[in-house]
Structure 1
Amino acid sequence: MPANPRSIAQLSVLLQSGALDPVALLEETLDAVEVYPDKAVFTVLTKERARAEAEASRRRLREGRSLGALDGVPIAWKDLFDMAGLPTTAGSRVLADAAPAERDAAVVRALAGAGMVSIGRVNMSEFAFSGLGINPHYGTPRNPAAPVGEHRIPGGSSSGSAAAVAAGLVPVSIGTDTGGSVRIPAAFTGIVGYKASRGRHSMEGVFPLARTLDSLGPLCRTVQDAVWVDAAMRGRPASEALPRADLAGLSLVIPETVFFDGAEPEVVAAFEAGVERLAKAGARIRREAFPEFAEIFAVMARHGALVTAEAFVLHRERIKGEAAAGMDPRVVKRTLLGEKITLADYLETQAARERLTAAVEARLGPESLLISPTLPHVAPLTQPLVDDEELFFATNGKTLRNTLVGNFLDWCGVSLPCGTGAAGMPAGLLVSGPRGSDARVLAVASVVEGLVG
């Protein structure tokens, strides 16, 4: 791991000033990936493409035609985003022979248009259907934050994205988030993960899991980096200003329902230490019960999970046919649960979703944002989860619990590192807000980051 992994902002200063050459940075990046001992992080390196993009960036910067703050900065993509000329395999062997994509996904095109250099694809949970990051086909990336000699999960489904950034191989990787798949691995590995509101970015050319839940966002080193990438993915200048956020008088709400159930004491302690720092800085913090959060899980128990219903529709031919033999049995088993979910169940859940979203937002109030532990526990050891299916499913459910609330409500959120829990592993603090409040959530997260990081 590099001794001092660099953020996008740090690299941008060097690139824009001419102190760092985009081609030299690319070769340094490729060399770091090649010698990195964990070969389960990247699934493919797009060296030819990356070299062409870096050369073009070099010409622009030398001629004074920079495309902006992201020009020449390396980026990696979760194996769900179409990249021209490559099959999109979604972490699965059964798609290895799929037809190559004819063109890049919309957000890949947008960041290429901002001058970013795409160095390759990173690993993930098969079909994005797990919060743990375990992949029996391409290997499970090691969590770079784990003590030497320990193999702990990186979190999923954007496992390779988190591992690549946490290891300092790239400053940013784009992941997707259907139940927590950006925020979970960010919290487990001690980096920043921003889940955008659904619809903020184009999902064109992104392999789906559950279309009414799917969103995407960057895993990176700082909130500032996330802000720049978010703007560029929407076709806006990376320098676009966020609204100002001042902690003095800022209203933050800590949910007393669900989020702390069964949480590890060390994780709670790290979160509460962050809360104390925020309060001392002038934030107004209140704790409140949200019975709606408990009702979300009651609705899921009664009617089934939306993600399971939609994943079954997407994969039903695959898991009912010969392809199932080549899939992770745990993914097959979980997807098959969707067969039992009726249309009436699905519609009842969607109706409950609208009702509960409105109720939660009314309880929160228009001036407040939610803060909570991102996860109730730190990253566990990998091998026990591989060996014990019952433990796998129990841990997966607990890992997804806090974050899936945001997906169900269609919220946005930023996970920030806030100290350590058991075994010195990272703990995360999550700033969340209603759909469409992305700019405010990012602005507040940027201020919070300076106090709890």
Structure 2
Amino acid sequence: MTHHKTLASLAVLVQSGQSDPVALAEDTLTRIESHSDQAIFVGLVRERATREAEAASARIKAGRSLGLLDGLPVAWKDLFDLAGSVTTAGSMILKDSPPAVADAAVVAALSGAGMVSVGRTNMSEFAFSGLGINPHYGTPRNPASADVHRIPGGSSSGSAAAVAAGLVPLAIGTDTGGSVRIPAAMTGIVGYKATRGRYAMRGIFPLAESLDSLGPLCHTVQDAVWADAALHGLTAPVIRRADLADLSMVVPETIVFDEAEPEVVTAFEQAIKRLEAAGAKIRRQAFPSFSKIFELMARHGALVNAEAYALHRDRLAGAEAARMDRRVVARTRLGEKITVSDYIALLAARDRLIHETLESLKAGELIAHPTVPHVAPPVDPLLADDDLFFKVNARTLRNTSIGNFLDFCGVSIPCGTGAAGMPVGFLLSAPHHQDDRLLSAALAAEAIIRGEV
């Protein structure tokens, strides 16, 4: 029943009475339990789902629907607190922790909109990888690859796979260096990373609080707009579709195409040509600020490493380190070398580079480039070679992490296929707190980016 259906199409069925939320929830849970890939979810909340679905069903039958999302299923990355369930953050270390006593703020927000939470999705341990590999709970298969086991992207691996596999129409992930946009691009769905602070972060296990944000993974930009409204407490979306003739985009000539696979560049450039033909204004420009970000990290270290080390320092000093993914341990330990003066220098430089980037944009411009410079690679070589793992992880995170450092909001939209027929993502970004304008533009441009018109 939920197979590859959008929130919008399911809403029509539920609100019209053609589909009952209880039957929809049961079908969703059954499909998850019987799915061939049991690494997508780390746990279901069947009792909660049944309770929420029954309440939605009663409301709708009584003519008191809460709105567009009432009775529709949603899944949560295993960083979000769900009352009565253990938040493991993809780690065995937290598996025996006490259950959460309350929902995370955004979980409560979607529950308040009538959505039915069905379970927790898998992820990179402690959200610290862009590849989605997890040695403890398994690595979800990329649903876009029929034969070869390819990475789903991370760290919101299970969230993307759950949507791409048609198990749920919506899953919520977090994004510190690309963890919503990367798996969306690699699995061929839409992923929207909101400006940091657009939603309340209470009840979410952190990675690096100066960079952490979150957002929906779904099938369409319209679904992302609906989810966005509910996530920050609106009863209905207020975003309007932009006029294509009013869209202006700048394509960076710095960093984002370095070492990009030719097929990825081709898919992106074809989407750009379609946008130009439809009336969008496109120009190209160097962004020195992009290069300066990586120069800063080479000199002072990375913000994410510093903050992750501060969070996990006690774990790394004790016996728990031996129970963590060795690759996560290695990356986190890099933060030990970052001094207080390094950290302060990074924060000060970040503020300068945000302003420098904003000043280099023309009024109303959006930034467009490939979400990831390559398609999803096979899992096995990455498991066999740690050096390859770290090299691919760095390249995977590179383009999206620019947006986190500069506090952009961004939405990844499928724009075609690359090598092996795997999906390619088109990343549209805007300066911080311009989410409504970004989503408005994405609504207008989506079909053209996809090549559907």
- TMscore range, shorter length: over 0.9
Equivalent-residue separation in structure 1 for 2:311 and 2:60 (angstroms) = 44
Q: 2:384 aligns with which of 362, 367, 387?
A: 387
For the residues of structure 1 that align with 2:64 and 2:191, how far apart are their CA atoms?
31
* Aligned equivalents of 1:273, 1:29: Cα separation in 2: 37
Equivalent residues in 2 for 1:2-401, closer than 5 Å: 5-146=4-145, 148-237=146-235, 239-401=236-398
SS of alignment partner, residue 254 of structure 2: coil
Deviation at 1:251, TM superposition (A): 1.1
SS in 2 for 1:365: coil
Bigger shift: 240-249 or 412-421?
A: 240-249
CA deviation map 1:254-290 (0-9, x unaligned): 0000000000000000000100000000011000000
Question: Once the 2 structures are TM-superposed, how far is the Cα of residue 83 of structure 1 from its aligned partner?
Answer: 0.6
- Describe the SS at the equivalent of 1:268: helix
CA distance in 2, matches of 1:287, 1:240: 33
CA distance in 2, matches of 1:388, 1:304: 24
Gaps of 5+ in 2: none
Q: Per-residue deviation at 1:149?
A: 2.2
**In structure 1, distance between residues paired with 2:56 and 2:364:** 42
CA distance in 2, matches of 1:3, 1:359: 45
SS in 1 for 2:245: coil
Per-residue deviation, 1:250: 1.7
* Separation (CA, whole Å) in 1 of partners of 2:56 and 2:2: 26
Runs (4+) of structure 1 moved beyond 6 Å?
none
Q: CA deviation at 1:3?
A: 9.8
Give the letter for the 2:406 counterpart.
L
Write the distance in 2 (CA, Å) between the matches of 1:243 and 1:361: 24
Q: Tell me the SS of whatever aligns to 1:140.
A: coil
**For residues 422 and 312 of structure 2, what CA distance do their matches in structure 1 show?**
35
Distance, in Å, in 2 between the alignment partners of 1:367 and 1:61 is 41
Cα deviations by residue, 1:71-102 (Å, 9 ceiling, x for unpaired):
00000000000011112100000001112111
Q: 1 CA distance for matches of 2:247 and 2:325?
A: 46
1:440 is the counterpart of 2:420: no
1:365 shift after superposition: 2.3
Measure, in 2, the Cα distance between the counterparts of 1:304 and 1:207.
Answer: 23
C-alpha distance in structure 2 between counterparts of 1:131 and 1:356, whole Å = 24
- In 1: Cα distance, 2:247 partner to 2:178 partner: 26
TM-score (norm 2): 0.98
C-alpha distance after superposition, 1:199-224 (max 9, x if no partner): 00000000000000000000000011
Letter of the 1:30 counterpart: L
Give 1:448 shift. 1.3
Q: Which amino acid aligns with 1:53?
A: E
2:241–2:443 contact (8 Å) kept in structure 1: no
How far apart, in 1, do the equivalents of 2:278 and 2:147 lie? 39
Unaligned runs of 5+ in 1: none
Q: Secondary structure at the match of 1:216?
A: strand
Q: Could you tell me which amino acid in structure 1 is paired with residue 41 of structure 2?
A: F
Tell me which amino acid in the other structure corresponds to 1:140: T
Q: What amino acid sits opposite 2:266 in the alignment?
A: A
Q: Which amino acid aligns with 1:294?
A: S
Whole-Å separation in 1 of the counterparts to 2:147 and 2:59: 44
**Secondary structure of residue in 2 paired with 1:86:** coil
* Distance in 2 of aligned mates of 1:72 and 1:100: 25
Displacement of 1:27 in angstroms is 1.1
RMSD: 0.9
For 1:95, what is the secondary structure of its paired residue?
coil
Counterpart Cα distance in 2 of 1:44 and 1:425: 28
Q: CA deviation at 1:4?
A: 5.3
Equivalent residue for 2:404?
A: 407
Secondary structure of the residue aligned to 1:154 is: coil
Find the aligned partners of 2:191 and 2:86 in 1 and give their Cα distance.
Answer: 26
C-alpha separation between the residues in 2 aligned to 1:4 and 1:54? 18
Q: Deviations over 1:312-361 (max 9, x none)?
A: 00000001101001000110111001000000000001111000110101
Contact 2:407 2:432 in 1 (8 A): yes
Change (3 A) 1:78 1:3: closer
Question: Within 2, Cα distance between the matches of 1:159 and 1:177?
Answer: 11
TM-score normalised over the length of structure 1: 0.98
Range 95-104 or range 183-192, more displaced: 95-104
Counting aligned pairs with the same residue, the percent is 64
For 1:404 and 1:21, how far apart are their aligned partners in 2? Answer: 41
* Partner Cα distance (1:292, 1:77) in 2: 34
Tell me how far 1:367 sits from its aligned partner.
Answer: 1.4
Deviations 1:150-195 (A, max 9, x none): 1000000000000000000000000000000000000000000000
Distance 2:6 2:321 in 1: 41
Contact 2:241-2:444 within 8 A present in 1 as well: no
Cα distance in 2 for residues equivalent to 1:13 and 1:329: 47
| Distance in structure 2 (CA, Å) of the matches to 1:397 and 1:310 | 18
Q: Distance in 2 between matches of 1:308 and 1:366?
A: 34
SS at match of 1:93: coil
Quick one: distance in 1 between partners of 2:240 and 2:57?
Answer: 33
Is this contact kept in 1: 2:28–2:167, CA < 8 A? Answer: yes
Aligned twin of 1:419: 416
Contact 2:372 2:399 in 1 (8 A): yes
